[in-house]
Amino acid sequence: MTQSNTILPPLTERSGVIRWLRKNLFGSWLDAILTIIGAFIIYWAAKGLFTWVFTVAEWQVVATNMRLFMIGQYPLEQAWRLWTALGFLMFLAGNSLGIWARKSYITTILLLAFPALLTLFPFGDEPRKWLIILTVVGVIGWGVGRTASEKLSRIVIFGWIISLPIFILLTRGFTPEDGIMPIVGTNLWGGLLLTFLLTVVGIIFSFPLGVLLALGRRSELPAVRFASILYIELVRGVPLITIFFMAQLMLPLFLPPNITIDRVLRAMVAVTLFSAAYLAENVRGGLQAIPKGQFEAAHALGLGSFQTMYFIILPQALRLIIPILVGQFIAVFKDTALVAIVGLFDLVGIAKTVLAQPDFLGLQREVYVFISLIYWVLSYGMSYLSQQLEIKLGVGKR
Domain assignment of residue 1, yes or no: no
Residue 111 has what pLDDT? Answer: 83
Q: Are residues 68 and 113 in the same domain?
A: yes
Q: Are residues 196 and 179 in the same domain?
A: no
Domain assignment of residue 177, yes or no: yes
Q: Are residues 245 and 353 in the same domain?
A: yes
Domain boundary among 184, 218, 233: 184
How many domains does the structure of the chain reveal?
A: 2
Residue 89 has what pLDDT? Answer: 94
Domain assignment of residue 281, yes or no: yes
Residue 91 has what pLDDT? Answer: 94
Domain assignment of residue 227, yes or no: yes
Angle of the 191-217 helix axis to the 347-355 helix axis, nearest 10:
150
Domain assignment of residue 353, yes or no: yes
In a structure prediction context, what are the per-residue pLDDT tens digits for the chain, which is 398 residues long? 455 566 666 655 556 777 778 877 888 889 899 999 999 999 999 999 999 999 999 999 998 999 999 999 999 999 999 999 999 999 999 998 888 877 777 778 888 888 988 888 877 788 889 999 999 999 999 998 888 766 788 899 999 999 999 999 999 998 888 888 899 999 899 999 999 999 999 999 999 999 999 999 998 899 999 999 999 999 999 999 999 998 888 888 777 878 888 889 999 999 999 999 999 999 999 999 899 899 888 888 888 888 999 889 999 999 889 989 999 999 999 999 999 888 889 999 999 999 999 989 888 999 999 999 999 999 998 998 888 888 877 766 65
Query: From the CA atom positions of the chain, what is the Rg in Å?
Result: 26
For residue 153, count other CB atoms closer than 10 A to its CB: 16
- Rounded CA separation 127/129 (Å): 5
CB contact at 8 A, 142 and 98: yes
What residue numbers bound the domain in which 286 lies?
190-398
Domain assignment of residue 260, yes or no: yes
Q: Are residues 203 and 331 in the same domain?
A: yes
CB contact at 8 A, 390 and 318: no
Residue 169 has what pLDDT? Answer: 93
Q: Are residues 206 and 283 in the same domain?
A: yes
User: b/e per residue, 257-270, with b = 16+ CB within 10 A?
Assistant: eeeeeebbebbbbb
CATH number of domain containing 323: 1.10.3720.10
Q: Which residues contact 293 (CB under 8 A, 6 or more apart)?
A: none
Domain assignment of residue 94, yes or no: yes
Domain boundary among 184, 218, 245: 184
Q: Are residues 164 and 271 in the same domain?
A: no
Domain assignment of residue 21, yes or no: no
9 DSSP assignment: P
**Degrees to nearest 5, angle at CA 345 with 347 and 374:** 5
Nearest-10 Cα torsion for 24, 29, 33, 36: 50
Q: Are residues 280 and 379 in the same domain?
A: yes
Q: Are residues 180 and 227 in the same domain?
A: no
393 to each of 285, 317, 374, how far by Cα in Å? 19, 13, 29
Residue 192 has what pLDDT? Answer: 94
